[in-house]
Amino acid sequence: MITKGEFTELSKVHSAFCISIYIPTHRAGEETLKGKDIIVLKNQLKSVKKDLELQGISETEITEFLKPVEELLEDHEFRKNLSDGLAIFISKDFFRKYTLPLHFEEFSYVSNEFYLKPLMPFFNDDGMFYLLTLKADEVKFYEGARDSITEIRIDDLVPSRIEDRVGYDHEQKNLQFRTQQGGKGEGIFHGQSDNESEYKEELIRYFRSIDKGLMTMLHDSQKPPLVLCCLDYYYPIYKEVNTYQNLFPDHVSGNPSDMDELLLHEKAWELVKPYFSQNRKIKSDLFLQGYNSGKSSSDLKDIIPAALQGRIDTVFLENRSDIFGIYNSSTQELRIDSEHKIPNISLMNLLAIKVFDQGGSVFLMEKENMPDDSSKVNALFRY
């Protein structure tokens, strides 16, 4: 999990040497058992050391600088709790690591700022979603993407069952009030009407506590849709107390206990897939419509100053690609280089950070899906 506040903190770190490392990881299987993820991390660490040596940094300084990562390599507990991707950020007196449900390409970057472009899907409606499974006796929370889902432990944030919130006389008070799952997952109630009303009030208190706990982790800046998996009766009650800004309007219907993790992911992705496709298509169509009228551009000479001035609504960046160079904001001169070599920077990373900081959307796209695939960068301007 990474919050917008943490992303902003990373984006504001500037130093002589800021190191970013991304590797794909595995939650289970041969790659984990045989330590293959750690081998990949070691290879990236070697690459970073070589880059630092080329900058004239002594071996002693490099060893001290990279000590937090070396310690991570020996942390066996850490190895057992990996997700689909690992992101590491190191600078002078600064170290952060994130295990995330995103498959990263193996990559390292040494510059005067951190490389944050691969994190964009977490914040800009680009395939990331949350899944909350609700039962009276169990609550689970997941981070999901198109190809993965990872459980996030929330035991210390929310009550694990309704009795923990409303008291242990809950079962006794509801002996005459029972629910069972109907054909569509709806609650069917037996007993006096006041029992039903009382049970609903207890659910409201229970769900409100869950929402309050989640919001200490999600915060108002989070944009990924939150999908619920629960009985149909529960959804409108949770919706009534929900304060997260992007609760998905549909839910996975049924008892979560009847579904394993793979089925939960399949059903949740089936719900949210059209949402992500539609949003990108709307922005892509607007880009194409405005291309001949100056409302959009594929030229970096237009896009970079617009990004620095906060004039970009949406930027499309070609995934697994980059553009390196230097932009002088005083003279508005742009220099493009064939490779990354200090002091130049990733101009695509610069765009991603600036557009995001100004409230714009950043989409990482495969080349064939770019609105204008003749350029690695497409931008829709604000007017």
- How far apart are alpha carbons 371 and 381 in whole angstroms? 14
- How far apart are alpha carbons 113 and 17 in whole angstroms? 7
Q: Name residues whose C-beta falls within 8 Å of residue 38's C-beta, 6 or more positions apart in sequence.
A: 73, 79
Q: DSSP labels for 153-218?
A: --TTTS-SSHHHHH-TTHHHHTTT-EEEE-TTS-EEEES-HHHHHHHHHHHHHHHHHHHHHHHHHH
- From 19-28, 78-87, 252-261, 335-344, the region with the lowest mean pLDDT: 78-87
Single out the residue of 202, 210, 208, 209 nearest to residue 177, CA to CA.
202
Residues 91 and 179 in one domain: no
- CATH number for the domain including 17? 3.30.960.10
User: How many other CB atoms are there within 10 angstroms of residue 367's CB atom?
Assistant: 12
Q: Are the C-beta atoms of 141 and 132 separated by less than 8 Å?
A: yes
Does pLDDT of 185 surpass 50? no
pLDDT digits (tens, 9 = 90+) for 88-147: 999 988 999 998 878 899 999 999 999 999 999 877 666 789 999 999 889 999 988 887
Residues 166 and 213 in one domain: yes
Percent of the chain topping pLDDT 70? 88
- pLDDT for 170: 46
- pLDDT for 341: 92
- pLDDT for 220: 56
Q: What is the span of the domain harbouring residue 23?
A: 4-115
The continuous run of DSSP H or E covering 63 comes out as: helix 59-65
Does pLDDT of 174 surpass 80? no
Spatial strand order in the sheet of 148-152: 148-152, 138-145, 129-135, 226-230, 252-253
- pLDDT for 168: 44
Does pLDDT of 187 surpass 90? no
Residue 349 covered by a domain: yes
Which of 84, 115, 146 is the endpoint of a domain?
115
Residue 309 covered by a domain: yes
Residues 76 and 148 in one domain: no
User: How many other CB atoms are there within 10 angstroms of residue 97's CB atom?
Assistant: 14
* Top-confidence residue, 162 or 181: 162
- pLDDT for 283: 94
pLDDT digits (tens, 9 = 90+) for 314-330: 999 999 999 999 999 99
For the record, the structure tokens of 354 come out as 């600036």
274 prior amide bond cis, ω within 30: no
Q: Tell me the helices (H) and strands (E) count for the chain, helix number first.
A: 13, 18
pLDDT classification of 169: cutoffs 50, 70, 90: very low
How long a stretch of residues is the chain? 383
Which of 253, 277, 301 is the endpoint of a domain?
277
pLDDT classification of 281: cutoffs 50, 70, 90: very high
- pLDDT for 210: 95
Residues 77 and 179 in one domain: no
Residues 165 and 243 in one domain: yes
* Top-confidence residue, 186 or 135: 135
Question: Where are the extended beta strands (E) located within 45-128?
Answer: 85-91, 94-100, 107-113
Residues 199 and 296 in one domain: no
Does pLDDT of 359 surpass 60? yes
Residues 298 and 328 in one domain: yes
Residue 352 covered by a domain: yes
For the record, the structure tokens of 230 come out as 């629960």
Which of the residue ranges 73-82, 164-173, 217-226, 288-297 has the most confident prediction, judged by mean pLDDT?
A: 288-297
Does pLDDT of 188 surpass 70? no
State the DSSP code for 376.
S
Does pLDDT of 277 surpass 50? yes
- How far apart are alpha carbons 67 and 376 in whole angstroms? 36
Residue 284 covered by a domain: no
Q: DSSP labels for 26-57?
A: -SSSHHHHTTHHHHHHHHHHHHHHHHHHHTT-
- How far apart are alpha carbons 11 and 219 in whole angstroms? 18
- How far apart are alpha carbons 221 and 49 in whole angstroms? 36
Which of 209, 244, 277 is the endpoint of a domain?
277
Does pLDDT of 31 surpass 60? no
Residue 121 covered by a domain: no
- From 11-20, 124-133, 162-171, 237-246, the region with the lowest mean pLDDT: 162-171
- pLDDT for 165: 57
- pLDDT for 53: 95
Average pLDDT, the chain: 87
pLDDT classification of 166: cutoffs 50, 70, 90: low
